[in-house]
A and B are shown apart, each in its own frame.
Chain A
Amino acid sequence: KQEVTQIPAALSVPEGENLVLNCSFTDSAIYNLQWFRQDPGKGLTSLLLIQSSQREQTSGRLNASLDKSSGRSTLYIAASQPGDSATYLCAVTNTGNQFYFGTGTSLTVIP
């Protein structure tokens, strides 16, 4: 069964800093990997989707990389802002349907 781990569990940074969130998974035969943002009491907002054949995806200040062979993905956030404060979730699927989620990284960006 796919196991997804995210470190750190919590991160606090001053505004403007660049940061990296980590995600690791046990079964490298993934279909794709998706990064989400979750605000308190809210649903999941899709940030980036990386297909199994891709190495990275970029959207604005966000860049996600994928190293399938080592079972790792990173989410890089450039020039962090207070509005980036949220929980970031990594999820992988082996079939395109069932996603396995990590426990998330709770990010606080201090003004």
Chain B
Amino acid sequence: EPEVTQTPSHQVTQMGQEVILRCVPISNHLYFYWYRQILGQKVEFLVSFYNNEISEKSEIFDDQFSVERPDGSNFTLKIRSTKLEDSAMYFCASRDRGRQPQHFGDGTRLSIL
């Protein structure tokens, strides 16, 4: 069964550095998402992406964050000037057109030191 893949599985970065999290959505899905889950807390929506532009974003997704679909397969989340509170599990998801379910990857655990 097709799946969403995320790399790396664990990323350790010094505070203040930039980090790029990578995702390969399910082939021919059209809608892409990033979520985060701080340890012990709810999964929180960050951003949705369709037709090469952001369609929705939460208040968490400020100027520190950006997303990109650089080619036909990858979907990336860039976090600039990382802070300690950015430490979390980051999940990528994708879905097909219409009222279809979102499919999630296994996540990238981001640790900011």
Residues on B with C-beta less than 8 A from A65 are none
Contact between chains at B56 and A97 (CB < 8 Å): yes
Count class of interface residues, chain A: 20 to 34
Contact between chains at B56 and A89 (CB < 8 Å): no
Contact between chains at B105 and A49 (CB < 8 Å): no
Residues on B with C-beta less than 8 A from A69 are none
- Judged by a CB distance under 8 angstroms, whether B107 is at the interface is yes
Contact between chains at A46 and B101 (CB < 8 Å): yes
- Judged by a CB distance under 8 angstroms, whether B31 is at the interface is yes
Which 9 A-B pairs give the minimum distances between C-beta atoms? A97-B48, A43-B106, A44-B104, A101-B43, A49-B101, A98-B45, A43-B104, A46-B101, A97-B56
Taking Cβ atoms with an 8 Å cutoff, the residues of A that contact B are 31-32, 34, 36, 42-46, 49, 51, 89, 91, 95-104
Taking Cβ atoms with an 8 Å cutoff, the residues of B that contact A are 4, 6, 31, 33, 35, 41-45, 48, 55-56, 58, 91, 93, 99-107
